[in-house]
Amino acid sequence: MTHRQDAQCSETRAVVHRAVWRADRRVGVMVAAAVVGAFALLHPLPAVAHEAVGPAHCQPLPAVQAWLDLHIVKWDAILATEPGYERPSSVTVCAAPPGRPFADNRANRIFVRGIETVDQQITVAHEYVHIAFQHYPSGHNEGYVEHTARRLIAEFP
Ligand SMILES: [Zn+2]
């Protein structure tokens, strides 16, 4: 085998290797998409992300505030077993623009709409979990936050 043939040979190997790698990667992407799809079916993630700096003005929602204050006490036993949980001394509930709930971690404020439906209650719990785990990676993981919020509402409706 001449030097040139040898070089071609390793070039071919490299091309084959790259093709195999690309195929593997494509399968990997498809598997990942299927896993994400299955996860989304089980735990539909909210459409918007929820950590932001809120406006200086807070329009209070007294009924939601009372509901949250009561539930924070109940949720404490569940959340205390989770790493990174820090029960905030207080969380203020403010009215959010329609469809745009979020948590202002620095101000310990959550911006939500209400508690009339289970979905709205999950949203309140969700934004609270962002606050209660704000100094830990899980508090910024939407999957973890949503899963935990659903668990809280399932156990303490
Ligand atoms: Zn969120």
Are residue 81 and residue 135 in the same domain, yes or no? yes
Q: What is the CATH number of the domain that holds 72?
A: 1.10.10
Residue 154 has pLDDT above 80, yes or no: yes
Q: Tens digits of per-residue pLDDT, 39-52?
A: 434 444 444 457 78
Per the structure, the complete domain to which residue 6 belongs is given by 1-42
Are residue 114 and residue 146 in the same domain, yes or no? yes
Q: Tens digits of per-residue pLDDT, 84-104?
A: 999 999 999 999 987 789 999
Alpha-carbon distances of 17 from 11, 20, 93, 96, 133, rounded to whole Å:
10, 5, 57, 53, 44
Is residue 136 within 8 Å of residue 83, measured between CB atoms?
yes
Domain count, the chain: 2
Are residue 14 and residue 83 in the same domain, yes or no? no
**57 Cα–ligand 1 center, Å:** 21
Main-chain phi, psi angles of 94, to 5 degrees:
-125, 155
Q: Which residues surround ligand 1, an ion (CB under 5 A)?
A: 50, 142, 145
**102 Cα–ligand 1 center, Å:** 7
Does the pTM of the predicted model rise above 0.75? no
**59 Cα–ligand 1 center, Å:** 21
Are residue 96 and residue 143 in the same domain, yes or no? yes
